[in-house]
Amino acid sequence: MRTHLTIMLAAAALAGCGTTAQTNTAALAPKTDEGPSEQDRAWMSTIHGGNLAEIQAGRLAEGKGTTKRIKSIGKMLVEDHTKLDVKVTQAASQLGVQLPTSPSPEQQAELTRMRDATGKDFDADFLAAMTKEHTAAMAATRTELSEGSSNAVKALAKTAVPALQQHLTALRKAHGE
């Protein structure tokens, strides 16, 4: 009985205040980011597919490369694109972006060519394919930075630039040997 009376008194006191309860939103972070645009979604899909292809190509280079430089570049691609892809897949999951489950058909064809190549032919195919892939990834990333609308995706793109540029420089340098 005492509990019932306490609840009734509390309800009466609240009803008698004449004010409505308001949610305190001061502690909540303001929503500053809209959902990802088609540009944001396209960049994430492109980069994820590229990451998948470049990780596979890097592994091939680690095993099939004929020089320490090719093997080293392969290792760098595996490590860096694995780290980037973790960030991309986490962001995509949080933003509700569906990512491809495998590299594009063109990337698959490049990987098949590399798997079939041996010796110096492998090295040449690897360098040509990875230079092309990284050039395309840099272009897509620049487009995301200038045309993307999601702050989260643009921030992710910005973090990808140094590694992509480092890879492209290493690939071009190795190609010139």
State CA 44 to chain mean position distance: 6
- For tokens 């809209």, what's the residue? 34
Share of the chain above pLDDT 90, in %: 79
d(CA 36, CA 150): 5
| Angle, alpha carbons 83-136-98 (nearest 5°) | 55
How many CB atoms are located within 10 Å of the residue 97 CB?
Answer: 21
- The pLDDT of residue 175: 83
Answer whether 71's CB lies under 8 Å from 62's CB: yes
- For tokens 């392969």, what's the residue? 74
Q: What are phi and psi for residue 24, nearest 5 degrees?
A: -80, 110
d(CA 120, CA 118): 6
For residue 150, is it within any domain? Answer: yes
Average pLDDT in the 81-95 region?
Answer: 96
> Domain span at residue 117?
36-175
Q: At what angle do helices 151-175 and 119-147 cross, to 10 degrees?
A: 150
- The pLDDT of residue 29: 35
- The pLDDT of residue 121: 96
Report pLDDT digits (tens) over 146-177. 999 999 999 999 999 999 999 999 999 998 85
Answer whether 87's CB lies under 8 Å from 156's CB: yes
For residue 18, is it within any domain? Answer: no
- For tokens 């595996």, what's the residue? 78
pLDDT at 32 over 50: no
For residue 22, is it within any domain? Answer: no
Average pLDDT in the 97-122 region?
Answer: 96
- The pLDDT of residue 92: 96
pLDDT at 30 over 70: no
Total domains in the chain come to: 1
**Is 121 strand, coil or helix?**
helix
We report the CATH number of the domain holding residue 63 as: 1.20.1260.10
For residue 115, is it within any domain? Answer: yes
Share of the chain above pLDDT 70, in %: 80
Report pLDDT digits (tens) over 52-64. 999 999 999 999 9
pLDDT at 6 over 90: no
Q: Which two tokens stand for residue 49?
A: 């597919």
Across the chain, mean pLDDT equals: 85
